[in-house]
């Protein structure tokens, strides 16, 4: 009888130990599961914030953008080279026009006894200077456009971030240069319009 009681007592202690160990295991597993879920949520939120920051401030170049930029660079190089060639032709044309005007005035003077005046003599030089000035003004945007195209092609071929930045810098300079020229020409046009209108009012 005493042996049975001791066995029952021992069995009870063993069962309690097993139950307690099982409860500890379940609580530990539950804690690990909650911790894992919390870590997954925090990591997911961090990834969402990182993706949002990347989409807003870290713009990348995907294959579609790369294709568009590559084609834009090719057309930009073509336009820049043609523009530079036109600048050279414009300078040559200005020199030829100045020479032709000077020779024409000399022939008129020798054939018809035409007295060469100061205005007629300066006309050829004025034409040459005008063409050369226009060629110089048009040359710089062509130069910046060519630099944009070269740096863009280098950036896309070599995945060079510095070349990409330099390319967009030259594109910015091109638009800024053209914008300043546009403002100057609009101001001169407005000034000429006001002066012409004021002169017409005085004449009438």
Q: Which residue has the higher pLDDT, 165 or 57?
A: 165
Residues 124, 41 share a domain:
no
- Give the global pTM: 0.64
Q: Which pLDDT tens digit goes with each residue over 161-184? A: 999 999 999 999 999 999 999 999
Residue 116: pLDDT band by 50, 70, 90 thresholds?
low
Residues 51, 91 share a domain:
no
CA atoms within 13 A on the CB side of 51: 6
pLDDT at 42: 47
Residues 7, 94 share a domain:
no
Token duo for residue 174: 């091109």
Q: What is the mean pLDDT of residues 89-107?
A: 84
Q: Which of 59, 80, 102 is the last residue of a domain?
A: 59
Token duo for residue 77: 């190089």
Q: Which residue has the higher pLDDT, 65 or 115?
A: 65
pLDDT at 109: 63
Q: Which pLDDT tens digit goes with each residue over 66-96? A: 999 999 999 999 999 999 999 999 999 999 9
Residues 92, 40 share a domain:
no
Angle between helices 118-158 and 161-203 (to 10 degrees): 150
Residues 92, 166 share a domain:
yes
Residues 78, 30 share a domain:
no
Question: 3-state SS of 69-128?
Answer: HHHHHHHHHHHHHHHHHHHHHHHHHHHHHHHHHHHHHHHHHHHHCCCCCHHHHHHHHHHH
pLDDT at 5: 45
């Amino acid at each position: 009888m005493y042996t049975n009681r001791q066995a029952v007592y021992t069995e009870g202690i063993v069962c309690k130990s097993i139950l307690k160990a099982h409860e500890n295991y379940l609580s530990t597993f539950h804690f690990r599961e909650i911790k894992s879920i919390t870590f997954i949520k925090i990591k997911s939120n961090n990834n969402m914030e990182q993706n949002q920051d990347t989409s807003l401030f870290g713009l990348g170049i995907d294959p579609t953008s790369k294709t568009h930029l590559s084609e834009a660079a090719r057309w930009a190089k073509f336009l820049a080279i043609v523009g530079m060639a036109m600048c050279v032709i414009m300078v040559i044309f200005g020199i030829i026009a100045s020479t032709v005007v000077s020779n024409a005035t000399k022939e008129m003077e020798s054939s018809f006894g035409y007295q060469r005046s100061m205005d007629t003599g300066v006309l050829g030089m004025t034409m040459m200077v005008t063409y050369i000035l226009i060629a110089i003004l048009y040359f710089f945007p062509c130069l910046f456009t060519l630099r944009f195209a070269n740096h863009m092609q280098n950036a896309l071929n070599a995945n060079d971030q510095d070349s990409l930045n330099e390319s967009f810098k030259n594109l910015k300079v091109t638009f800024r240069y053209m914008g300043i020229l546009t403002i100057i020409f609009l101001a001169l046009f407005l000034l000429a319009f006001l002066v012409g209108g004021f002169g017409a009012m005085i004449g009438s």
